[in-house]
Chains A and B, each alone.
Chain A
Amino acid sequence: MAEQSIVFIVDDDASIRASLENLLASEGYATQAFDSPQAFLSADRPDLPGCLVLDVRLRGNSGLEFQRDLIRRGLRIPTVFVTGHGDVPMSVAAMKAGAIEFLLKPYRDQDLLDAVQKGVELDRHHRRQAAEVAELRARYAAMTPRERELMPLVASGMLNKQIAAKLQLSEVTVKAHRAQIMQKLEVYSLAELVRAADRLATEGQTGRSADAIA
């Protein structure tokens, strides 16, 4: 693996854990194995793009419950389910809750490795997006209240003249603010500005809805 990543394994069977670590290690993955969801949650986990391989029928609480628990905690980690006795409703529930793959033990190694790779890629993508949004938010935070007021108007395609009339400002002032906004958001065209504004709005919404779930 060119880039750093980690695969977490949660299974209550020690030999299954060992065999999975062996297989993933042979493909160059770093792994960390836990015998219970509690151990996984309380462990000091490296902050790397990763994926979780989870046994559905764990002692105490089931893997499906654990998956829901992770979502509640806002831990967005792609999950690959493995089970010795899966049925259709179980796999449907897992997939609906956002599982990458639902594999029956004993699984084909390529299926598992593909699913793990897909999970890691997905997490990497999520992380990149999250970083971009965070960056954008920081830039947005650096703007003055007046600039924040103007931004949606500019993004909606209004001309300087129209904005000036609406806010009862001179056209020159609007033009100056507009230049400031473009500079602070580090965008170089109106199209880019529209995209950034859009992104800030939607990410803000998903952030809020995630809070609502929690």
Chain B
Amino acid sequence: MAAALIAALVATIPFARVTITGSEVILPAYAAAVFVLEVITAALLFSLYSVQRGPALLVLASGYLTAALMIPGWILTFPGLFSSLGIEADVQATATIAALRRITFALFIFSYALAPFGASAGRSPGVTATWTVICIFAAAAAVMWLIARQQMSLPTFMRDARNVTALWSIVPAAAMAIYVTSMAILIRRRRAALDIWVCLVVFSLVIELTLLSYISSGVRLSVGWWGGRVYGLAAAGTVLLVLLADTTAVYARLARSVAAEQRARQNRLTAMEALSASIAHEINQPLASIITNADAGLRWLTRAEPRIDKVDASLRAIVSEGHRANKIVLGIRTMFMKGAQERALVDLPKVITDVTRSAAEEANLAGVSISVLLDPQTPAVIGNSVQLRQVIRNLVENAIDAMKTISDRQRELSIETRRLADGEVEITVRDTGTGLEPGMEERVFEPFFSSKPGGMGMGLMFCRAVVEAHGGRLWTSANVPRGAIFHVSLPAAEMNSRD
């Protein structure tokens, strides 16, 4: 892009000093365009500042606003433009404003290059921005007033309405020096994409100055002079477009992330609701059974000829159901209350061997053979060992239950661990049981969805909640030729410590 700018510059050189007479009439339009572009740019930068809070942005925004506010004064005092309206200012006034505009903008760019880009603490950015805008307006008004009142003591920049004096040549030289220094600083620091764009603007401003002041020898309304103006406009327009595109992209991203956040919250909420409903259901079942048995016992007792044997049976059922309810409450407590927040390095192979050892007797009774295949490279995970143990125990118990009814094949339960490429550990629990019907792969994680009568386990719903709380995933797939596989993936501990 810089190359294109230079090419355009070279193309202008031969005609630079040719004056286009009568082209003053376009000047107000040009001034209005620059004014609008710079004000919008300033507004965007101010709003960007109020979000990102970087002092550098505030400085850049102030620079654009200051430059924009000097344009009305400059165009109103331009020799011969508004004489019909009775505005006839000193020829030096226009040049003084132009000089001020050039130098202050360059200084703002320089300050931008030096100012910290990161967010600064302190007062709210909205208040700071408002005060900055007020100060700039006041300063611009004061300067214009001073220039209007003290026209005689203004420096002599112009020989006549068209041609500049030697004094003028200091202004572009100074501005260009500041610009080049700023560019050097910006290119070296390169803090954000905006820096590159500012560099490009500064570069095009340098070209504009070259055209305006040297190639056209400062002759107003010449081809070179107009070329410089067009450059300036193009540069301002480019930055504005980039800023607009950036802002729109930022807002789109913001809207997307807000929507995603809402979805996530919704999901969490539904999971919590489902979880509490599931807990209520788990406890309600034994309670209902206890109450019904107690009612039945009373009826057996108060009959005309009481049946003590039936009362005995009712009471025994009540006791066993009471224990069942207690087991559920204990299970919930280990899952969610006591030490649920404790996180430590968990040795998965140890957890798995513990679980298989404690399930060995049950497996034996059910005629299930358990095989464990642990990858020696299995990394540790960070989590709650009690909860993870519960999850694996649940999966193992489910697998054993799923195989109790089959008789045409071996009842095999195999547990494997595997290290995945993306820094995760996968645990698979594979059975040769009845398997899941197609379409049930997700439903098994819903509350109340049970495939075993009187399911004592906390349910797959709890398992998934725990695994997801560990930043992992729990899903199922079909085993070949028959049965189901449950997969648990958990982030490995090394990944966590590296982050």
Contact = CB atoms under 8 A, between A and B. Distances in A.
A156 interface: no
A105 interface: yes
A25 interface: yes
Interface stretch (B90-98, B289-297, B333-341, B426-434): B289-297
Contact of A84 (B288, B313, B451): B288
A22 B284 contact: no
A59 B444 CA distance: 10
A85 interface: yes
A57 B289 CA distance: 16
Nearest to A57: B448
Give chain B's interface secondary structure class: helix
A19 B317 contact: yes
B63 interface: no
Contacts of A18: 289, 293, 317
B228 to A, nearest CB: 75
Nearest to B292: A19
B446 to A, nearest CB: 11
B285 to A, nearest CB: 5
Contacts of B284: 84-85, 105-106
A105 B317 contact: no
Given A84-B288, A106-B287, A15 B454 contact: yes
A22 B289 CA distance: 10
A4 B362 CA distance: 43
A13 to B, nearest CB: 5
A13 B314 contact: no
A12 B450 contact: yes
A76 B277 CA distance: 33
B285 A25 contact: no
A109 B289 CA distance: 11
A22 B291 contact: no
Interface string B301-332: 00100010010011001001100100000000
Nearest to B448: A57
Contact of B321 (A15, A59, A112): A15
Contact of A27 (B285, B287, B299, B448): B299
Contact of B289 (A12, A15, A35, A85): A15
Nearest to A26: B299
Q: How large is the interface on A (under 10, 10 to 19, 20 to 34, 35 or more residues)?
A: 20 to 34
Contacts of A210: none
A23 B292 contact: yes
A108 B294 CA distance: 11
A19 B287 CA distance: 11
Contact of B296 (A12, A15, A26, A35): A26
B438 interface: no
Contacts of A106: 284, 287-288, 290-292
A22 B453 contact: no
Given A15-B285, A22-B310, A26-B303, A59 B292 contact: no
A13 B448 contact: no
A57 B290 CA distance: 20
B3 interface: no
B214 interface: no
Contacts of A15: 285-286, 289, 317, 320-321, 324, 454
B82 interface: no
Q: A27, A85, A107: which has the most chain B beta carbons within 10 Å?
A: A85
A85 B280 contact: yes
A85 B291 CA distance: 17
19 contacts: A13-B289, A16-B285, A16-B292, A19-B289, A19-B317, A19-B321, A22-B293, A22-B317, A23-B293, A23-B295, A26-B300, A26-B307, A26-B310, A85-B280, A85-B281, A106-B287, A106-B290, A107-B291, A109-B296
Interface of B: 277, 280-281, 284-293, 295-297, 299-300, 303, 307, 310, 313-314, 317, 320-321, 324, 448-451, 453-454
Interface of A: 12-16, 18-20, 22-23, 25-27, 35, 57, 59, 84-85, 105-109, 112
